[in-house]
A and B are shown apart, each in its own frame.
Chain A
Amino acid sequence: MALRRRNAPGTSLQVPGARPRAVIDDNGGILPLSRLLTPPVWWTLAGGGAHGAVQLGTLQAIRETDLEPEQLLGSSAGALTGALIAEDPVAAVNRLFYLWADLDLTDLVGGGWVGMVSPTSFTRSSLADNAGEMASLEEVYDARRFEDLVIPFGAVATDMISGQPTVFDSGDLLPALLASSAIPGVFPPVEIDGRYYIDALASANLPASLAMRRGAGSIVAFDTGSSPDKTIGTSLQQLVPAVNALLSTQQRISSLAQAAAEVPVLYLPTPADLPGSLSFNESFTTSRDSYLLARAFLLDLAEAYPTGSPALEPGLYCRPDAFSIDSENLSRVMRPVPVRVAAGGAS
């Protein structure tokens, strides 16, 4: 599947129209952008199931700049990626690349996918157990405690009783990652210190406002992209995904709007034409498309704010077309970065 798309006509890893990097700066080809962000710089990573592969691409693009995280905060799939960056920031891109190449649903839910819905399933507390995911986590991460990580990192989960977003940033790492990605209904709630936690999607799927409240000087937001709008329909199969998309879009917009009112937020662009969030076998094209989009955006940003520009003021720095929804809250804080560089092959 990936090979067919990779060789599709019109696909190119060139970025047409971009000036050679040597002309932009004399930084050895590394885009100098850290000059624009007030420390401490927090990277916040959103959840999104298989759409998490978007963050591999954006991470590849950001590695061509001099931006570094001083703190990481991740929700759900973003927590899994964030912990990997925090464990080894240099190796993270390569490790993620090979992880996503291999990953499929059975690594998460085990082989029992088919037997999940059965007469007995109505009395269970979750459709799948999380033994499969725990085994995968133990295999992937070397760190066992937050304190083992090189960069300070927090995983966001939702307190199942109060609904409050909760940040785990000390003690055992793997249960916190399990809680952060405990998809409601699919995986069981995770008990930590006598309380039950579910997926961060229920309270803070893009934890930008949490990062702002915890003292970020500026924020880089790694989102996870979206699927094209389906036909508007009134049956439950059409309404449930539509309502889900509505709730999560609204949540990320208010989180970004609140953060951007106080600090500069760099919102890396993400593809809007992704397959479903459980389609793990499309991760190659997903990450490639987001790499190209993010790379073009970062070049645009460097051109719009050339060397000598002061540090960015509070606001949401994004592509003009980053959000499909026409929100008042967003328009108050948006500082669109003009698109000069076409994202080759990302169409």
Chain B
Amino acid sequence: MTHHLLHSLPSPTALVCGSGGLNAAAQAGMLKALGSYRPDLVFGSSGGALTAASMYVGEDPAQQAHRRWKQLAESKFMHLSWGRVYSAVSGKETARQTRHVEELLGELFGDADFAPGAVQSLVATNLGTGLPKVMNQGRLAPAVQASAAFPVIANPVERDGTILIDGSFSAPLPVAQAFEGGARSIIAFDTGRAGLRASQEKHFRWYDVALVSINHQVAANAAHDVALVAAQIPVVMVSVPDPFRVTLADIGSRINLGERMAREQLAGIAERWSSISDPGVYAAAPEVVEDRRLSGLVR
């Protein structure tokens, strides 16, 4: 039923993989829920860059993404140390840190290039202009590095004379870039929304509040972009909220959760719609359906 629904979307259909840090690992499970369905275009930003970059490197994209997220879980990449915080605060471009990231991405993607014909795009933020930078040519590894260059965790990346940082600061869910790239329908993997529990708030320290505020700002920008694009074309949204402080040890369970939630949500949408062609947001997740920024657009 879901398969039939996805194939009814006006083509070309873009798969858009959003930000969410390690919570974006859920996207590997979401891909699995799509089964043998293949989108025409794929866009990724920040954590979603890892998923989007895995789409054309082998036969089974879900398996490819799964393998890379698991590899990341076993690396030391996300290990935060005082040394790393110090090097970020002092602005010292520690060659060692950059080399670690480059080695890891080399292991993950080798010398693989973007798929030909601009069907695969990764988005970073140009620090100078504040605008999204869409990359769809050349080697994948350095593009993933730029798209996911979140301050403190990874250093900014220089490319074509500009400084690039994490895509979540300009296009956390790059639906607008997919629309401009020709997509006439979108399947969006929304993993960047804060999914906090009310019990958490009592234990929040001031720096948690500040971090959650940044998370909410990023999610607000994603919701606004979806609102603008969904007024023009249909956007199917699958969502797994970020519970805050996902660690490397959680990656496996996030992948499983992503698969389960995607199956449930897609089945929910397919129950209401046998085919989709009108503009709007198509979603079953409560946090999307109840999102006030999308009111009037959710079908």
Q: Please list the residues of chain A having a beta carbon within 8 angstroms of any beta carbon in chain B.
A: 121-127, 158, 160-165, 184-186, 189, 195-196, 198-199, 201-204, 209, 213, 232-240, 242-243, 245-251, 254-255, 257-258, 261, 325-329
In the complex, chain A residues whose CB is within 8 Å of the CB of B169: 243, 246-247, 250
Query: What 9 A-B pairs are tightest by C-beta distance, nearest first?
Result: A235-B91, A185-B210, A254-B224, A184-B213, A163-B216, A202-B216, A202-B213, A185-B206, A247-B217
Q: A325-B130, A328-B176 are in contact. Are A125 and B205 (CB under 8 A)?
A: yes
C-alpha spacing A124/B208, complex, angstroms: 10
Whether B197 is near chain A, meaning CB under 8 Å from some CB there, is: yes
Residues of chain B within 8 A (CB-CB) of A184 are 209-210, 212-213
Nearest-neighbor residue (CB-CB) of B228 within chain A: A329
Q: A251-B220, A255-B224 are in contact. List 9 more A-B contacts (CB 8 A).
A: A160-B201, A160-B204, A161-B198, A184-B212, A199-B213, A209-B224, A250-B221, A326-B129, A328-B176
Q: Which residues of A contact B295 (CB under 8 A)?
A: 213
B78 within 8 A of A: no
- Which B112-143 residues have a C-beta within 8 angstroms of A? 125, 127-131
- Contact across chains for B89 and A235 when beta carbons are under 8 A apart: yes
List B residues 185-226 near A (Cβ within 8 Å).
193-194, 196-198, 200-201, 204-207, 209-210, 212-221, 224-225
Chain B residue, CB-CB nearest to A199:
B213
24 pairs, CB–CB < 8 Å, chain A vs chain B: A160-B196, A160-B204, A161-B194, A162-B196, A164-B292, A184-B209, A184-B210, A189-B209, A202-B220, A232-B128, A234-B93, A235-B88, A235-B89, A239-B156, A246-B125, A246-B130, A247-B217, A247-B218, A250-B221, A255-B224, A258-B224, A258-B228, A261-B231, A325-B129
Known contacts A202-B213, A258-B228, A236 near B194 by CB under 8 Å: no
- Closest residue on chain B to residue A184 by CB atoms: B213
* Distance in Å: Cβ of A127 to nearest Cβ of chain B: 5
Q: From residue B179, how far is it (CB to closest CB) to chain A in Å?
A: 10
Known: A123-B205, A240-B151, A246-B130. A161 touches B196 (CB 8 A): yes
Q: Given the complex, which residues of B lie within 8 Å of A121, measured CB to CB?
A: 206
- CB-CB under 8 A for A235 and B215, given A122-B205, A251-B221: no
Which residues on B sit within 8 Å (CB–CB) of A209? 224, 293
Contacts of A199 in B (CB 8 A): 213
Min Cβ gap B114→A in Å is 23
Q: A255: which B residues are within 8 A, CB to CB?
A: 224
- Alpha-carbon separation in the docked complex, A159 to B54 (Å): 36
**A202-B216, A254-B224, A329-B176 known; A125+B89 contact, CB < 8 A:** no
Within 8 A of A (CB), among B67-92: 88-92
Q: Cβ of A239: which chain B residues have Cβ within 8 Å of it?
A: 127, 151, 156, 165
B196 touches A257 (CB 8 A): no
Q: Tell me whether A254 and B201 are in contact (CB under 8 A).
A: no
Are B209 and A185 in touch, CB under 8 angstroms? Answer: yes
A123-B205, A184-B209, A234-B155 as given contacts; A163 in contact with B88, CB under 8 Å: no
CB pair A161 B217 closer than 8 Å: no
Complex CA–CA separation, A66 to B131 (angstroms): 38
* C-alpha gap A242/B126 in the complex (Å): 11
Measured CB to CB, the nearest residue on chain A to B128 is A232
Residue of B nearest to A122 (CB): B205
Q: Is the CB of B131 within 8 A of A234?
A: no
Q: State whether the Cβ of B291 lies closer than 8 Å to any Cβ in chain A.
A: yes
Distance to closest chain A CB from B241 (angstroms): 9
B205 and A235: CB pair below 8 A? no
In the assembled complex, how far is the CB of residue B142 from the closest CB belonging to chain A, in whole angstroms? 16
Interface contact B155-A237, CB-CB below 8 Å: no
State in angstroms the CA–CA spacing of A162 and B296 once bound together: 19
Q: A163-B194, A232-B127, A239-B151 in contact; A127/B228 too (CB < 8 A)?
A: no
> Cβ of B163 < 8 Å from any Cβ of A?
yes
What 1/0 mask marks residues of chain B from 163 to 178 whose CB sits below 8 Å from any chain A CB? 1010001100000100
B287 contacts the other chain (Cβ, under 8 Å)?
yes
| B180 in the interface (beta carbon within 8 A) | yes
B213 x A124 contact (CB < 8 A): no
| In the complex, residue of chain A having the shortest beta-carbon distance to the beta carbon of B213 | A184
B196, B207, B210, B220, most chain A CB atoms within 10 A: B220
Write the chain B residue with the least CB distance to A254.
B224
Q: Which residues of B contact A242 (CB under 8 A)?
A: 127
Query: Which A residues are CB-close (under 8 A) to B52?
Result: none
Specify the chain B residue showing the minimal Cβ separation from A243: B169
- Chain A: CB-nearest residue to B199: A161
Task: With A234-B155, A239-B165, A247-B221 as known contacts, state yes or no: A158 contacts B213, CB within 8 Å.
Answer: yes
